[in-house]
């Protein structure tokens, strides 16, 4: 049975690799079901990526009317108090205040004022779980399906609130669901989860997920990685940035979490990204034939870089995939960029200094060519640069987005059949 003539999907995603997974699926859904209506809630840094892709996204600031006047005033006051240290140049102040404030207000509804304050002091934004708010979102929008990725906080709250309301849910999992993965450990499962490979499906089943809820689709964010246009753009970029025999390196930075299940009882060092940056720059400057591209995570601003032709800013607002075809080596911790770089043929060096590193053993998974602590970066890089790029040119363009869209439409069709008198 086909889904209803004009099904309504609520899609929710944070930035970085999460919105990158979701946007191709939205395009595929419209191609497969032209009458579909999609409301996209693009959170924090995802808003710009969504708008650049032609979407008309909503944010928290657009949904403040779901709170009454007193609630709204209280939430905005909480948001303004939390603003210092929680801003990003790619996110408007109004959206940041609304996001922080509504989430803090929601914690107070769940826990009470004192317990919410203690949780915020301990975990900061990582403690957000706006379940009350998403109950109101669903009550207002009344979608037929909720589509999100494996991010916690707002995405998890959207999926959980939908499950409570009997609305079908579909989640996209970006990586491997290894033991200790917070998403794999969830006990409330979406109606369907779309995963990268058979091995990921098996990992979820071992974690207690029902096999019938898992679909192996691939990751839509990787679909365009091997398109001819992207590969050609990578060759042009390399020609512009690195004349032989220069080596081109990419440092993919990411924030250090305050805590992680892979390192119980250990607190992450918020200064780690800056230490990695400074050490990497120092290594590069000792080699005249090395050039470094620095790409922050979408949630991070571009750090201050030295005035040197050897160190180049690569903003996260610029396309990633051509970069991965251009560089020789990608240096990262646990970022999805590591997997994408491997698929593109670049050598991958994983830094092991993060408290999250044990949860993403890229070397054991065959993704990283080498793994080391920051102190061993220079000799490890020297060894990797003695090897050529791997040949990934024969890999075909993917169609994961089409497969995920088909899963979403199947859930809508099943829901329509269940509700037919």
pLDDT digits (tens, 9 = 90+) for 27-74: 999 999 999 999 999 999 899 999 999 999 999 999 999 999 999 999
8 Å CB contact between 316 and 227: no
Average pLDDT over residues 225-242: 90
Q: Provide the pLDDT for residue 394.
A: 46
The CATH number of the structural domain formed by 8-221+399-419 is 3.40.50.2000
Q: Could you state, in order of their start, the residue ranges of all structural domains in the chain?
A: 8-221+399-419, 228-385
Residue 249 pLDDT > 70: yes
Q: Provide the pLDDT for residue 1.
A: 41
377: closest CA among 297, 312, 292?
292
Average pLDDT over residues 236-245: 89
113-123 vs 93-111: helix crossing angle, rounded to 10: 130
Report the side by side order of strands in the sheet with 192-195.
Answer: 37-42, 8-13, 145-149, 169-172, 192-195, 214-216
Cβ count within 10 A of residue 195: 26
Mean pLDDT of the chain: 91
Alpha-carbon span 292 to 326, nearest angstrom: 12
Quickly name the fold that domain 228-385 has.
Answer: Rossmann fold (3.40.50)
Q: Provide the pLDDT for residue 393.
A: 52
The tens digit of pLDDT for each residue in 142-185 reads 999 999 999 999 999 999 999 999 999 999 998 888 887 889 98
Q: Provide the pLDDT for residue 90.
A: 85
R_g (Cα) of the chain, nearest Å: 22
Check if 8-221+399-419 and 228-385 are the same fold.
yes
Contacts of range 364-370, beta carbons closer than 8 Å, 24 or more positions apart: 365/176, 366/342, 367/338, 367/339, 367/342, 368/338, 368/342
Q: Provide the pLDDT for residue 173.
A: 95
Alpha-carbon span 52 to 36, nearest angstrom: 21
- pTM given for the model: 0.76
Q: Provide the pLDDT for residue 180.
A: 77
The tens digit of pLDDT for each residue in 344-361 reads 999 999 999 999 898 888
Average pLDDT over residues 380-396: 80
Residue 175's φ and ψ, nearest 5 degrees, are: -125, -125
């Amino acid at each position: 049975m086909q889904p209803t003539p004009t099904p309504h999907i609520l899609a929710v995603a944070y930035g970085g690799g999460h919105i990158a997974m979701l946007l191709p699926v939205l395009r595929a859904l419209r191609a497969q079901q032209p009458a579909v209506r999609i409301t996209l809630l693009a959170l924090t840094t995802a808003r710009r990526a969504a708008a650049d892709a032609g979407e008309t996204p909503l944010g928290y600031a657009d949904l403040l009317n779901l709170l009454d006047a007193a609630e709204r005033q209280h939430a905005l006051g909480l948001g303004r108090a939390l603003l210092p240290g929680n801003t990003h140049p790619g996110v408007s102040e109004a959206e940041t205040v609304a996001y922080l404030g509504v989430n803090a207000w929601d914690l107070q509804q769940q826990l009470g004022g004192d317990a919410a304050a203690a949780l915020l002091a301990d975990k900061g934004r990582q403690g957000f779980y706006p379940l009350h708010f998403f109950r109101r979102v669903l009550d207002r929008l009344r979608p037929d399906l909720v589509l999100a990725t494996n991010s916690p906080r707002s995405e998890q709250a959207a999926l959980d609130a939908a499950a409570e309301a009997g609305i079908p849910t579909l989640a996209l999992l970006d990586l491997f669901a290894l033991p200790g993965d917070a998403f794999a450990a969830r006990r409330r499962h979406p109606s369907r989860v779309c995963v990268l490979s058979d091995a990921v499906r098996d990992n979820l089943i071992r974690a207690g997920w029902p096999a019938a809820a898992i679909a192996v689709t691939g990751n839509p964010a990787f679909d365009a990685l091997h398109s001819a246009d992207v590969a050609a753009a990578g060759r042009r970029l390399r020609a512009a940035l690195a004349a032989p025999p220069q080596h081109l390196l990419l440092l993919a930075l990411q924030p250090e979490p305050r805590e992680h299940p892979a390192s119980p009882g250990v607190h992450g060092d918020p200064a780690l990204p800056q230490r990695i940056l400074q050490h990497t720059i120092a290594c590069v400057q000792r080699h005249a034939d090395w050039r470094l591209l620095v790409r922050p995570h979408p949630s991070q601003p571009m750090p201050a870089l030295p005035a040197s032709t050897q160190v180049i800013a690569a903003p996260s607002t610029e396309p990633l995939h051509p970069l991965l075809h251009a560089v020789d080596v990608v240096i990262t911790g646990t970022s999805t960029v590591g997997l994408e770089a491997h698929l593109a043929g670049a050598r991958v060096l994983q830094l092991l200094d993060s408290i999250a590193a044990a949860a993403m053993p890229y070397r054991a998974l065959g993704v990283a060519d080498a793994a080391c602590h920051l102190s061993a970066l220079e000799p490890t890089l020297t060894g990797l640069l003695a090897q050529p790029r791997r040949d990934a040119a024969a890999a075909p363009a993917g169609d994961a987005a089409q497969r995920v869209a088909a899963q979403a439409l199947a859930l809508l069709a099943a829901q329509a059949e269940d509700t037919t008198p």
